[in-house]
Amino acid sequence: MNFQQLRILRETVRCNFNLTEVANVLFTSQSGVSKHIKDLEDELGVEIFQRKGKRLLGLTKPGVELLKVVERVLLDTKNIKHIAEQFSSSDQGQLTVATTHTQARYALPQIVSQFRKAFPKVHLVLHQGSPTEIAAMLLSGDADIGIATEALQEEADLVSFPYYTWSHAVIVPSGHALQQVKKLTLEAVADFPIITYHQGFTGRGRIDAVFAKARLSPDIVMSALDADVIKTYVELELGVGIIAAMAFDAERDRGLVLLDGAHLFEANTARIALRRGHYLRGYAYRFIELCSAPLDEAVVREGLLQQRGLEDFQI
């Protein structure tokens, strides 16, 4: 048994059992991949993959159990390298933060600026994606820290911490009829075409739930991944917008008006998530603490050791 065989097992699952793709990812040949798989199965004495002819269809029951161990072994292998780097060059390296556009654009700029001043030799990678993609990057070890509102609490191998709470608001073009409504209601908003976030992003699920609970069927004419796009089309008077309140800047968005919607929509909580068992360099803990002072290294380490999420942790 060797590390190449373990990598091939993991990548075969990631590549949906397409051995040609596995070979490309690992810079080897398809025949080499097939031989490694056969050698591993022969050594273990069990079939790891379900087959139809020469095609791999999925994992067998032993394969499912084996994959869990392989993921841990490969993660710890990467951790060994990170530990060595921590003690040989504590202020150098790379930190990958996976987050959504909303967090990268509105919540993190000051944090990133402070971090860069404190650790100028650390290469900071901000990878933007959907909450589901962020969770996947954490689980695979491709990201050190994940920040999002959705999805991060759903994975047993992730530990998440509350970062900050935020609410949705309604935006309209200056002079819009909704500005005359003394206290905004869902019914009043639903009278107009609506532009808001795409499914799975920035609290969209809670927006839908609020309208459904009120038995309203809003006309959502457009959806987008980020607030900047939503604001662009609201300015063109194609509809009223529902965005994260923090995404509105009175100076920058002069053609728009923000209407308070805190009483209409439930509050949302952005969370910082980490992969259980993933070794973090000292500067990673510092990045988290810059995001939220109560989340110092001791608190985060304690959270990572717990066997459940920190639902009772309050900031």
**DSSP collapsed to 3 states, the chain:** CCHHHHHHHHHHHHCCCCHHHHHHHCCCCHHHHHHHHHHHHHHHCCCCEEEECCEEEEECHHHHHHHHHHHHHHHHHHHHHHHHHHHHCCCCEEEEEEECHHHHHHHCHHHHHHHHHHCCCEEEEEEECCHHHHHHHHHHCCCCEEEECCCCCCCCCEEEEEEEEECEEEEEECCCHHHHCCCCCHHHHHCCCEEEECCCCCCHHHHHHHHHHCCCCCCEEEEECCHHHHHHHHHCCCCEEEEEHHHCCCCCCCCEEEECCCCCCCCEEEEEEEECCCCCCHHHHHHHHHHCCCCCHHHHHHHHHCCCCCCCCCC
Residue with tokens 């209409």: 264
Q: Are residues 155 and 291 in the same domain?
A: yes
In a domain, 78, yes or no: no
- φ/ψ of residue 234, rounded to 5: -70, -40
Residue 22 lies in a domain: yes
Does residue 246 share a domain with residue 274? no
161 and 276: one domain? yes
pLDDT score recorded for residue 88: 64
CA atoms of 285 and 301, how far apart (whole Å): 9
Any domain includes 63: yes
Q: Give the domain-ending residue among 73, 98, 128.
A: 73
Q: Give the pLDDT score at 312.
A: 42
Both 155 and 300 in one domain: the answer is yes
| pLDDT confidence of residue 187 | 96
Residue 297 lies in a domain: yes
Residue range(s) defining the domain that contains residue 63: 3-73
Average pLDDT over residues 158-168: 94
For residue 34, give the CATH number of its domain: 1.10.10.10
> What's 300's domain CATH number?
3.40.190.10
Q: Could you tell me the pLDDT band of residue 155, with boundaries at 50, 70 and 90?
A: confident
In the block, residue with structure tokens 């973090």: 280
The yes-or-no verdict on residue 308 having pLDDT over 70 is no
Give dist(CA 41, CA 35) in Å, integer.
10
Q: CA-to-CA distance for 190 and 219, rounded, in angstroms? A: 7
Percent of the chain with pLDDT over 90: 58
State whether 253 and 174 are in the same domain: yes
Confidence of residue 3 (pLDDT cuts 50, 70, 90): confident
In this structure, is residue 231 part of a structural domain?
Answer: yes
The answer to the question of residue 190 being in a domain is yes
Alpha-carbon distance 273 to 136, whole Å? 12
Residue 98, pLDDT > 90, answer yes
**pLDDT (0 to 100) of residue 265:** 92
In this prediction, residue 190 carries a pLDDT of: 96
Say if residue 118 is in the same domain as residue 157.
yes
pTM confidence score: 0.74
User: Residue 34: inside a domain, yes or no?
Assistant: yes
Q: What pLDDT sits at residue 68?
A: 84
What was the pLDDT predicted at 154?
A: 85
Is the pLDDT at 311 greater than 50? The verdict is: no
Domain's final residue, options 43, 73, 103: 73
Shared domain check, 222 and 154: no
Summarize pLDDT for 165-208 with one digit per residue, the tens: 999 999 999 999 999 998 899 999 999 999 999 998 889 999 99
> How many domains in the chain?
3
Q: d(Cα 315, Cα 312) in Å, to the nearest integer?
A: 10
pLDDT-derived band at 86, boundaries 50, 70, 90: low
Domain for residue 310, yes or no? no
pLDDT tens per residue across span 266-304: 899 999 999 988 888 999 999 999 999 999 999 999 888
Residue 25 has pLDDT above 90, yes or no: no
